[in-house]
């Protein structure tokens, strides 16, 4: 093995949850020549950027934790955003990642030249590496609503992911556009703020699964510390529930179709128990299949919406005017502050970074017709490049930390194949991507996500960007590499390849 192959250099774009986890996994696998490039001044990604009131994870804390860094100190079953951000910082410190990291280095262009990745930043810095990982997250670029007159609003207006903490909320009339996971966390906080009037502009009612956020006492934490197997138990149980939920959204078996019905029934039961006014309840009742949009997990929204200072508006927004919103029925809703909890561009991935592979092929070229990546990670024409949390990565509501760790393990297997010379470069064949996606698409079109609602799960053609099968099927796929699917495999390796086919799942 030549020296370069023994010690491959790796650039990771992004020091959020995925980038940090990936860097550590690479180090644990003996790959130490790592550079993390982070556009901001600190770590944490989405948890650094989302600081809105009420921000918390709706995946249980112990399941939203790296496998190699359990945390007995979570303050509650669902941890608040700032605590999650602090957790990432502590793991980053524990694994001494600072010496690998450049902060305030926004990557603008990456191109593959002379057999290596050339990476440029907005500060005109240049990095070179054998391998490039995009770990920029997929819910990252705020999506602003296209509403006439939005630019004319005279008061403070902000996206949920760009919260302006200098804005005084007390005593204000606040409008919130959206009722997704972010909005349903923000709204109860705004309603509970002194003397506010909160108008919630709901376009589509959400399916909401009730969650209780139990705080962990000092004694609970001491027990977790004394006996880490307790943490494992909570984690495994939580993940098991998410796994069942995911399978209930994807499986056609009678058992899971029944479970799907039970989930939906339970959500309706919760709505009926919580919301007494039949008119309000009707407005909050979704009219599409449970799970078609990402299910909202929340324990406070329904209570909050019944408080006297909460106003649910279901009329379509016609326009924004300097002092409020006018709805299609002509009603003027006077507002001092406008909050846009309108989600993210889930199809941007690493863009606007300019990404050019072999022979000048760009990411926009390969994604012109369809945004796909082999096993969500590899692209033909882009040797030694890995996408993390790429298209078709979301496995239902399952913990993205667990997903990203499996992706890291998968990439490490391929890097090892490159190190041993089995693969000349890690470059997937076009034919392998096409046949992989053809099988995927066959399944995607029958999933719940394609059952007729609008959501960030869908691409421009209306095809889901999710994984159409169970967590188990996904982990089975990510466990082994089918080296036949890659270019330039040595003859010996061709005889040894392990395969996985979607049909097996
Ligand atoms: P989202 O789920 O995409 O919800 C956006 C909301 O804005 C929807 O209610 C949508 O209505 C509404 N909307 C968008 N454009 C609109 C317009 N022009 N007029 C009226 N309403 C409009 O976004 P999100 O709530 O930020 O959540 C995105 C994802 O982030 C979540 O699904 C989740 O994966 C993640 N997240 C996770 C957590 C967590 O705790 N782990 C917390 C927050 C977010 P329609 O439904 O009609 O489109």
pLDDT tens across 390-401, in order?
999 999 889 999
SS3 state of residue 355: strand
pLDDT(497) > 60: no
pLDDT(261) > 90: yes
Tens of pLDDT, residues 429-440: 999 999 999 999
Q: Ligand 1 pocket by C-beta < 6 Å: which residues?
A: 56-59, 139, 145, 147, 160, 177-183, 201, 203-204, 294, 317, 341-344, 454, 456
Q: Looking at per-residue confidence, does 173 or 500 come out higher?
A: 173
pLDDT at site 4 = 80
Can you read off the two tokens belonging to residue 479?
């466990």
User: pLDDT band at 368, cuts 50/70/90?
Assistant: very high
pLDDT at site 159 = 98
- Strand 107-113, strand 116-121: pairing: antiparallel
Cα 339 to averaged position of ligand 1 atoms, centre (Å): 12
The helix (run of H) or strand (run of E) holding residue 443 is helix 430-444
- CA-proximal residue: ligand 1, atom 37 (nearest): 181
pLDDT at site 1 = 62
Which of 175, 301, 342 most suits a substitution to test ligand 1, by most atoms within 8 Å of the C-beta?
A: 342
What whole-number distance in Å separates Cα of residue 235 and Cα of residue 24? 21
pLDDT at site 3 = 75
Contacts of 345 (CB under 8 A, 6+ apart): 140, 141, 142, 143
Which 8-state DSSP code applies to residue 62? G
Rounded to the nearest 10 degrees, the angle between the axes of helix 228-250 and helix 471-479 is 110
Which of 178, 288, 457 most suits a substitution to test ligand 1, by most atoms within 8 Å of the C-beta?
A: 178
Residues 294-307, mean pLDDT to the nearest whole number:
97
pLDDT at site 329 = 98
Q: For the residues of 185-246, what is the DSSP string, one character each?
A: HHHHHHHTSTT-EEEEE-SSPPPEE----PBPPHHHHHHHHH-HHHHHHHHHHHHHHHHHHH
pLDDT at site 138 = 86
Residues 113-121, mean pLDDT to the nearest whole number:
96
Q: What is the phi/psi pair of residue 101, to 5°? A: -110, 140
- Contact by Cβ (8 Å): 119, 125: no
pLDDT at site 492 = 55
Residues 469-474, mean pLDDT to the nearest whole number:
94
Residues 258-281, mean pLDDT to the nearest whole number:
97
pLDDT at site 458 = 95
Strand partners, 114: none
- Contact by Cβ (8 Å): 437, 464: no
Q: Looking at per-residue confidence, does 496 or 505 come out higher?
A: 496
- Strand 107-113, strand 354-356: pairing: parallel
- Contact by Cβ (8 Å): 121, 36: no
What whole-number distance in Å separates Cα of residue 502 and Cα of residue 505? 6
Residues 31-47, mean pLDDT to the nearest whole number:
97
Residues for the chain: how many in total?
505
- Phi-psi region at 338: left, alpha or beta (left = phi > 0; alpha = psi -120 to 50): beta
What whole-number distance in Å separates Cα of residue 485 and Cα of residue 433? 8
The 10 Å Cβ neighbour count of residue 238 is: 18
User: Mean of the per-residue pLDDT values for the chain?
Assistant: 94
Tens of pLDDT, residues 54-82: 999 999 999 999 999 999 999 999 999 99
SS3 state of residue 54: coil
The 10 Å Cβ neighbour count of residue 149 is: 14
Which atom of ligand 1 is nearest to 183's Cα? 25
- CA-proximal residue: ligand 1, atom 32 (nearest): 294
Tens of pLDDT, residues 148-188: 999 999 999 999 999 999 999 999 999 999 999 999 999 99
Which 8-state DSSP code applies to residue 347? T
pLDDT(503) > 90: no
- Contact by Cβ (8 Å): 371, 437: no
pLDDT at site 207 = 98
Tens of pLDDT, residues 21-38: 999 999 999 999 999 999
What whole-number distance in Å separates Cα of residue 86 and Cα of residue 100? 19
| Cα distances (angstroms) measured from residue 490 to each of 200, 246, 348, 410 | 60, 38, 35, 20
pLDDT at site 496 = 53
pLDDT at site 397 = 83
Strand partners, 118: 111, 128
- CA-proximal residue: ligand 1, atom 14 (nearest): 342
Cα 263 to averaged position of ligand 1 atoms, centre (Å): 21
Tell me the chain's radius of gyration from C-alpha atoms. Answer: 23
User: pLDDT band at 445, cuts 50/70/90?
Assistant: confident
Q: Looking at per-residue confidence, does 426 or 496 come out higher?
A: 426
Cα 118 to averaged position of ligand 1 atoms, centre (Å): 36
């Amino acid at each position: 093995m030549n020296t370069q192959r023994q010690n491959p250099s790796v650039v990771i774009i992004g020091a959020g949850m995925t980038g940090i986890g990936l860097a550590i996994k690479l180090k644990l696998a003996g790959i130490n020549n790592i550079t993390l490039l982070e556009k901001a001044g600190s770590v944490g990604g989405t948890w650094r950027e989302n600081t809105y009131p009420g921000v918390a994870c709706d995946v249980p804390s112990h399941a939203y934790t790296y496998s190699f860094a359990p945390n007995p100190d979570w303050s509650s079953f669902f941890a608040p955003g700032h605590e999650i951000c602090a957790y990432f910082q502590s793991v980053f410190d524990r694994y001494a990642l600072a010496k690998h990291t450049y902060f305030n280095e926004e990557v603008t262009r990456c191109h593959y030249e002379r057999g290596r990745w050339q990476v440029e930043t907005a500060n005109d810095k240049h990095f070179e590496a054998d391998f490039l990982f995009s770990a920029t997250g997929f819910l990252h670029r705020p999506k602003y609503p296209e509403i006439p007159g939005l630019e004319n609003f005279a008061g403070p207006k902000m996206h949920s992911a760009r919260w302006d903490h200098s804005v005084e909320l007390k005593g204000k009339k606040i409008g919130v556009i959206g009722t997704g996971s972010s909005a349903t966390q923000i709204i109860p906080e705004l309603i509970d703020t002194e003397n506010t009037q909160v108008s919630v502009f709901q376009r589509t009612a959400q399916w909401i699964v009730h969650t209780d956020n139990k705080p962990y006492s000092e004694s609970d934490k001491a027990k977790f510390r004394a006996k880490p197997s307790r943490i494992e138990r909570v984690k495994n149980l939580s993940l098991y529930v998410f796994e069942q939920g995911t399978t209930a959204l994807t499986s056609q078996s009678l058992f899971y179709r029944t479970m799907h019905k039970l989930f939906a029934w339970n959500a309706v039961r919760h709505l009926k128990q919580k919301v007494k006014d039949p008119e309000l309840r009707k407005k909050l009742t979704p009219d599409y299949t449970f799970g078609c949009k990402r299910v909202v997990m929340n324990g406070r929204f329904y209570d909050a919406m019944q408080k006297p200072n909460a106003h649910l508006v279901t009329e379509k927004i016609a326009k924004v005017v300097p002092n409020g919103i006018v709805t299609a029925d002509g009603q003027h809703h006077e507002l001092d502050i406008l909050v846009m909890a309108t989600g993210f561009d889930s199809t941007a991935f690493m863009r606007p970074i300019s990404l050019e592979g072999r022979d000048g092929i760009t990411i926009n070229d390969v994604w012109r017709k369809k945004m796909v990546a082999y096993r969500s990670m590899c692209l033909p024409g882009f040797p030694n490049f890995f996408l993390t949390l790429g298209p078709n990565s979301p496995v239902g509501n399952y913990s993205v930390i667990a997903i990203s760790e499996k992706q890291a393990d998968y990439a490490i297997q391929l890097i090892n194949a490159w190190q041993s010379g089995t693969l000349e470069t890690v470059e997937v064949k076009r034919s392998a991507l096409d046949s992989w996606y053809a099988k995927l698409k066959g399944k995607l079109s029958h999933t719940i996500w394609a059952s007729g609602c609008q959501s960030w799960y869908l691409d421009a053609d209306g095809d889901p960007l999710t994984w159409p099968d169970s967590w188990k099927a996904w982990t089975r796929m990510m466990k082994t590499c089918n080296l036949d699917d890659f270019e330039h495999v040595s003859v010996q390796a061709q005889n040894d390849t392990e395969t996985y086919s979607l049909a097996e799942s």
